[in-house]
């Protein structure tokens, strides 16, 4: 493959210090964790930060990007981007001019951050917000799968970093780079690696053989794929693959790609982003402009029934929840998520009625367009990592938001518009630690009690 190369890393130092040891605990091998649901199931986690802040075990310099880290079998995987020395990203993040650079896949030792291997390839960007890749790596069965922002899908040996196979969505399927890049985190269901692709008719979503990269099935047609990751839900004794693109919400058989049902839901500016969430038989979808919809799944696999939806399609005049990046949490018959201008909100799951809202977790008191915090549930508490680089421990209930503890961990380095600096990367929570990045460094933070 032209312009692809594995960079060997000198391992003498690593051999001298040993591999270290990690107590038996949970990895975070993909988007939203082991079950892909944003729940951290480990115990023995702190309930408040020390006065001096949690211990940062290591810091490793990296390039730019929005992709979150993944942690598996003593290794940390991350994708980033390096610009050519004489090149800078445009001051206007909405610019789509061509920018030369390289995308990279990094593999680090979990215990000390030592680089085990780096795989890089030339990749010119022509998208809005060009900091770097968007999709979190996926690790399974000794392989790591990555999707670059310009549509290059790679499968590498997870231990050695050698290339096993590759697919190029633009060259092979005629896909056009979405305005904000390819961002749908790949999903592995049994022997199907499922990706948002686009381009050719009936190829909006494609399932590849994870061993060989060979196409198994393709399905759906739309003007653009959007950014929402393929999502697996289990209902009625069966698995359903939910594909939400800017025109409709669809359920497919994950093994065959056969369409089970489709519901029209046209969203403005192609912004199908937030991961759909299932609670019991209720499926929740939220969009930045168009707001929320709650559906009740049919036990006989028929088309779901609409239970409630947002009244208006507006980013400012909002009623239920108009999320941009935040994946909401559905917990004890309530929905917790971040709305269009940073409002952390609680909704009644059954009716969509708003119980409360606050800006304390995101902007410390004022509305800011696209303001965000990523939410992860752990036992009966929540970890919120906001765009200011703060990690918050909080309790949330229908009665209100109660902040327990807060610490500042990372400098906001990304651009939101022309003036605001942000951290827009979902962290990983694994082995009693948090792994988080900005555009300059990746850190490992101890959260062990």
Query: So where are the chain's domains?
Result: 1-30+67-167, 184-272, 273-449
Strands 373-378 and 39-40: parallel
Under 8 Å between Cβ of 197 and 206? yes
- Decide whether 1-30+67-167 matches 184-272 in CATH topology: yes
> How does DSSP classify residue 198?
-
What does the alpha-carbon distance between residue 145 and residue 158 come to, in Å, rounded to a whole number?
A: 9
Statement: residue 303 has pLDDT above 90: yes
How much is the pLDDT for 228?
98
How much is the pLDDT for 4?
52
The token pair that represents 156 in the structure block: 């590498």
Statement: residue 14 has pLDDT above 60: no
User: What digits encode the pLDDT tens for the residues 206-237?
Assistant: 999 999 999 999 999 999 999 999 999 999 99
| % of the chain surpassing 70 pLDDT | 95
Q: What is the mean pLDDT of residues 241-247?
A: 98
Instruction: Give the N- to C-terminal CA distance of the chain in Å, as an integer.
Output: 47
> How does DSSP classify residue 12?
H
How much is the pLDDT for 19?
40
How much is the pLDDT for 53?
96
What does the alpha-carbon distance between residue 244 and residue 275 come to, in Å, rounded to a whole number?
A: 9
What does the alpha-carbon distance between residue 324 and residue 421 come to, in Å, rounded to a whole number?
A: 17
Q: Cα–Cα distances in Å, from 286 out to 246, 295, 424?
A: 12, 12, 18
Q: Which CATH architecture has domain 1-30+67-167?
A: Beta Barrel (2.40)
Model confidence at 319, in pLDDT bands (50, 70, 90)? Answer: confident
How much is the pLDDT for 312?
85
User: What digits encode the pLDDT tens for the residues 134-164?
Assistant: 999 999 999 999 999 999 999 999 999 999 9
Model confidence at 432, in pLDDT bands (50, 70, 90)? Answer: very high
Q: Which CATH architecture has domain 273-449?
A: 7 Propeller (2.130)
How much is the pLDDT for 22?
41
Statement: residue 111 has pLDDT above 90: yes
Look at phi and psi of residue 217 and say left if phi exceeds 0, alpha if psi is from -120 to 50, else beta: beta
How much is the pLDDT for 84?
84
User: What digits encode the pLDDT tens for the residues 170-189?
Assistant: 999 999 999 999 999 999 99
Contacts of residue 51, defined as CB under 8 A and 6 or more positions apart, other chains included, come to none
How much is the pLDDT for 23?
41
User: What digits encode the pLDDT tens for the residues 379-401?
Assistant: 999 999 999 999 999 999 999 99
What is the rounded average pLDDT for all residues in the chain?
93
How much is the pLDDT for 15?
33
Q: Does domain 184-272 have CATH number 2.60.120.380?
A: no
Strands 75-83 and 414-416: unpaired
pTM for the model: 0.93
Q: E-assigned strands of 161-265? A: 163-168, 187-189, 192-196, 205-208, 215-219, 231-235, 238-245, 248-252, 259-264
Under 8 Å between Cβ of 252 and 244? no
Statement: residue 131 has pLDDT above 70: yes
């Amino acid at each position: 493959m032209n312009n692809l190369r594995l960079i060997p890393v000198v391992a003498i130092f690593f051999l001298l210090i040993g591999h270290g040891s990690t107590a038996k605990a949970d990895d975070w091998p993909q988007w939203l964790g082991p079950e892909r649901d944003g729940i951290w199931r480990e115990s023995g986690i702190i309930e408040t930060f020390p006065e001096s802040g949690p211990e940062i075990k290591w810091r490793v310099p990296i390039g730019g990007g929005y992709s979150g880290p993944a942690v598996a079998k003593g290794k940390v995987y991350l994708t980033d981007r390096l610009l050519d020395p004489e090149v800078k990203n445009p001051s206007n993040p909405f610019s789509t001019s061509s920018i030369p650079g390289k995308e990279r896949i990094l593999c680090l030792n979990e215990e000390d951050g030592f680089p085990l291997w780096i795989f890089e390839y030339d990749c010119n960007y022509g998208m809005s917000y060009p900091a770097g890749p968007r999709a979190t790596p996926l690790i399974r069965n000794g392989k790591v799968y990555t999707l670059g922002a310009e549509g290059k899908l790679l499968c590498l040996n997870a231990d050695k970093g050698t290339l096993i196979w590759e697919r190029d969505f633009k060259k092979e399927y005629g896909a056009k780079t979405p305005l904000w890049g390819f961002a749908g985190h790949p999903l592995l269901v049994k022997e199907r690696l499922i990706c948002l692709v686009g381009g050719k008719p009936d190829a909006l979503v494609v399932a590849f053989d994870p061993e060989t990269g060979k196409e198994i099935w393709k399905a759906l047609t739309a003007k653009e794929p959007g950014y929402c990751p393929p999502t697996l839900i289990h209902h009625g004794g069966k698995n359903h693959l939910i594909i939400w693109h800017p025109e409709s919400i669809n359920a497919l058989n994950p093994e065959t790609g056969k369409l089970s049902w489709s519901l029209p839901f046209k969203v403005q500016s192609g912004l199908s982003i937030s991961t759909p969430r299932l609670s019991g038989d209720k499926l929740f979808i939220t969009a930045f402009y168009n707001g929320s919809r709650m559906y009740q799944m049919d036990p006989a696999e028929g088309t779901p029934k609409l239970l409630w939806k947002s009244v208006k399609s507006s980013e400012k005049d909002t009623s239920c929840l108009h999320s941009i990046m935040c994946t909401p949490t559905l917990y004890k018959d309530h929905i917790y998520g971040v709305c269009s201008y940073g409002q952390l909100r609680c909704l009644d799951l059954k009716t969509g009625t708003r119980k409360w809202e606050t800006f304390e977790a995101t902007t410390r008191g004022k509305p800011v367009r696209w303001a965000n915090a990523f939410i992860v549930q752990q036992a009966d508490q929540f970890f919120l990592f906001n765009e200011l680089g703060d990690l918050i421990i909080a309790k949330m209930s229908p009665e209100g938001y109660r902040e327990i503890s807060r610490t500042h961990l990372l400098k906001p380095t990304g651009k939101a518009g022309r003036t605001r600096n942000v951290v827009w990367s979902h962290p990983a929570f694994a082995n009693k630690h948090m792994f988080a990045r900005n555009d300059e460094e990746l850190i490992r933070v101890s959260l062990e009690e």
